[in-house]
Chain A
Amino acid sequence: MSGFSAALRAHIERAREWGRNEVRPAGLEADRNAAPLPADHPYFAKFVDFRRRHPSPAEDDTISEGSAVRMAVLNEENAYWDRGMGVAAPGPGLPAAIVAALGTPEQRERFLGPFRGAKEPRWGSFALTEPGGGSDTAAFRTRAIRTDRGYVLRGSKCFIGNAARADWVLIQANLDPEKGRAGQRAFFVEHGNPGMTGIKIEKKMGLRAYESVSFILEDCEVPHENLLGGEQPARTSQSSAYGATMGSLNTTRVGVAASAVGLARSAYDETLDIAKQSGSIKSARVRDRLEAMRRRLRAAWLMTLRAAWKADEKIPNIVDASMAKVFAAETAHELATVGMEIVGLEAGAGDCLVEKLFRDAKALNIVEGTGQIQRIIIARNLVGLPR
């Protein structure tokens, strides 16, 4: 194990400065308003400008670390300042990798092209979860029906990040229910499509900086060209939308784990600060608990980095990614929970960051596969737990 390269550290440093000056205040503003920052909020224009001046580390050839480690390190730093603002950041987001991997050349140009060097903030979005269930991805009920003019989508989706402001939402729907999971494909639904209705921005416990959107697909028509990967029926599970989704989660889980570590580190630092200020650090009990928090934080970070490193080395990391995801998410929640006890009344009585982190952290054990689902994945590999 060794330290990060100087090139990567330079990116971390820049993210830190940006985080402290821009991300943290924007995140607190959204939380206080109990609503996502509007798409035309100056923060987003500033963000686009920042990205134009400082390309993302993903495109920096001077960095020696692999892409998964880069992402983990940057996600950790960004989430330290505000996890919600990280998700709200303009860009194609989660589906970018899927579109890049499975999209036809035309689709890559049409849907990802506009994001390259964009001068205006724009978003992409990915819709899997349905009101009837999110964990059981095979049971999704949204249907796609082929017609002469394209496809008609029917169903409903919920909690979809950035879906109301996105240029397009990539929507998982079943084209061939007889085939079950293998019948699932993904469709681009563009902003303003009248078939995407009942758009509701949910009010959440935390992570209020980004939109979580529920909506209905009411005979939502899209042209043939909007079927991800084109009309050619998927042959192998690898090329089906479902396979692509599950494949991509190996790195996205690591990404969420890294964000959880960032959030946890934030809870730790803030708790430590308050314990010093209030003098409660003098208590041996408080010091013991802070020390236990610090150790757990370190374990979570190492586990996350290892899962990322394995991905970069092309070593199968399903179990590592799931372990990192559940352990880091629960670490974030635990640290914020204990932090609340140490900062005590301040947390419940005033505007205190730990209080916000407590609300934010809880989501991390639900998104991208709940804690239960991660344990099932781990146990399946460990002891052959049946589905």
Chain B
Amino acid sequence: MISFALTEEQTQVRDTLLSFATSELATRARSADEARLSPSELLDTAWSLGFTALSIPEDCGGGGAPRSLVTSALMLEALGYGCAGLASAAFASMLFVNPLIDLGSEEQRLRYLPEFCGEKRRAASLALHEGAPAFDPARMATRAMRDGKGWVLTGTKRLVPMGEHASRLLVLARASDAPGLAGIRAFIVDSDATGVTIARDSGTLGLTAAGFARVELAQVRVPADDVLGDGEGADIRPLLASLRIGGAALAVGLARAVIDFAIPYAKERVAFGEPIARKQSIAFMLADMHIECEAMRWMVWKAAAEADAGRDAAKASVLAQDYVNRHAVRIADDGLQIFGGHGYIRDLPPEMWLRNMRVLTSHDAIAAA
């Protein structure tokens, strides 16, 4: 049976995060964008909401709530509504924690997850992207070579959110000659380990509050049992599906924020004797923005629901991400256009949203095209 209804818990989670997003994230978005930094008191507040530990198993000290990608998508959409850059910083640890919950061995969970259940904020992150234009497993240059029983990692990772602050990283690397994604594994790497160098990436365009870093791995030794999963390590395809869904959900939230900000302006701003919302070229623009945003959202939910139902969400997640990558920038662009010259000035959010959206949806845009 098909249903678009949310459970009571999902509604609650979404509402909590939506109010956090509007009161805490949206209000700090501009200053964080300019400072290219997330304020630590905000990161503390975000941590105190307890979402990082929510789905960590009880025997590791967490909330034990079942993992659901639909719930994750709802959370990220709510956060993206406030500020995608700050959200990426405030919840970067989840990029480490959730894959451990989903794919980690029993022993890895017990070893690494309890530290994320305390009151004190713990930063961790995911090192996925490289210098290449798109995430292309065939071209992943970071290698994990066998070394006795363990591994040696070499390569350069880019756009690691909160990379400078992370104490642990989940690093994706090519571990065998198996073709495509089958040869990729995820490794748990201590950011203090010998050979790891982390430096701020100099990006200026968008999501500047996310604290993107470049991570150099020079002959970094990783013990055999720190390959994510049991034995030879887990297939990382479900992880990639969840990342696609999460990124797309953030973009849906951001798109929704653009529309909700543009509508009242269009109804108030008068040109040629009437509000510009009464001009068809503006009214239709808003209608199209609304249509596309809804389409994006249902594509994302569908992919998330596939995963939650235990089915392979790879295809659905690619479709959702591709669709979002194609349409979300247009929404942000039209949002700015409706504000005319005022949209181009760094006082109002539309120009910031367009920059953020461009970065959020550039990754893999060509691969998906």
Please report A residues at the B interface, Cβ cutoff 8 Å: 129, 132-136, 139, 158-159, 202-206, 212, 278, 280, 283, 285-286, 289, 333, 337, 340-351, 355, 358-359, 362-363, 365-367, 370-372, 375-376, 387
Contacts and interface: CB of A to CB of B under 8 A. Distances in A.
Nearest to A205: B351
B217 to A, nearest CB: 17
Contacts of A345: 129-133, 158-159, 362-363
B38 to A, nearest CB: 17
Contacts of A370: 337, 340
Contacts of A135: 271-272, 340
Interface stretch (B51-59, B201-209, B308-316): B201-209
A306 B271 CA distance: 31
B298 to A, nearest CB: 24
A349 B272 contact: no
B341 A159 contact: yes
A342 B132 CA distance: 10
A349 B281 contact: no
Interface in B334-369: 336-337, 340-341, 343-347, 351, 354-355, 358-359, 362-363, 365-366, 369
A350 B337 contact: no
B6 interface: no
Interface centre among B134, B212, B341, by most A CB within 10 Å? B341
28 contacts: A129-B341, A133-B270, A159-B341, A202-B346, A202-B347, A203-B346, A204-B344, A205-B344, A205-B346, A205-B354, A280-B133, A337-B358, A340-B358, A341-B369, A344-B362, A345-B132, A346-B131, A348-B159, A348-B358, A348-B362, A349-B158, A349-B159, A350-B201, A355-B205, A366-B337, A366-B340, A366-B341, A375-B281
B13 interface: no
Given A203-B345, A340-B358, A345-B363, A362 B369 contact: no
Contacts, number: 137
Interface of B: 129-134, 158-159, 201-207, 212, 214, 269-273, 279, 281-282, 325, 329, 333, 336-337, 340-341, 343-347, 351, 354-355, 358-359, 362-363, 365-366, 369
Given A280-B132, A344-B362, A366-B340, A202 B205 contact: no
Contacts of A350: 201-203
A249 to B, nearest CB: 16
5 A-B pairs with the lowest CB-CB distances in the bound complex, closest first: A344-B133, A205-B351, A341-B365, A203-B346, A348-B359
Contacts of B205: 347-348, 355, 358-359
Nearest to A372: B281
A370 B342 CA distance: 12
A133 B342 CA distance: 10
Contacts of B134: 280, 344
A206 B340 CA distance: 14
Contacts of B201: 349-350
Given A280-B133, A349-B202, A285 B337 contact: no
Interface centre among A340, A349, A372, by most B CB within 10 Å? A349
A338 B359 CA distance: 12
B149 to A, nearest CB: 34
B275 to A, nearest CB: 12
A133 B359 CA distance: 31
B277 to A, nearest CB: 13
A348 B360 CA distance: 9
Nearest to B339: A366
Contacts of B354: 205, 362
Given A202-B345, A289-B366, A358-B358, A346 B340 contact: no
Contacts of B203: 348-350, 355
B202 A351 contact: yes
B333 A344 contact: no
A376 B271 CA distance: 13
A135 B336 CA distance: 15
Nearest to B282: A372
A278 B305 CA distance: 37
Interface centre among B207, B329, B351, B363, by most A CB within 10 Å? B351
A333 B344 CA distance: 14
Contacts of B355: 205, 359
Contact of A133 (B131, B271, B281, B347): B271
B337 A365 contact: yes
Given A278-B132, A362-B333, 13 more contacts: A132-B270, A133-B271, A134-B340, A203-B347, A278-B131, A344-B363, A345-B131, A345-B133, A355-B205, A358-B358, A359-B355, A362-B336, A371-B337
Contacts of B366: 280, 283, 285-286, 289, 341-342, 344
A375 B270 CA distance: 19
A139 B363 contact: no
Contacts of B130: 345
A333 B363 contact: no
B344 A348 contact: no
Contacts of A344: 132-134, 362-363, 365-366
B345 A204 contact: yes
Given A134-B340, A340-B358, A346 B133 contact: yes
Contacts of B343: 366
A314 to B, nearest CB: 31
A376 to B, nearest CB: 8
Contacts of A342: 133, 366
B361 to A, nearest CB: 8
Nearest to A212: B345
Nearest to A341: B365
A372 B279 contact: yes
Interface centre among B159, B202, B354, B358, by most A CB within 10 Å? B358
Contacts of B341: 129, 134, 158-159, 366-367
Contacts of B159: 345, 348-349
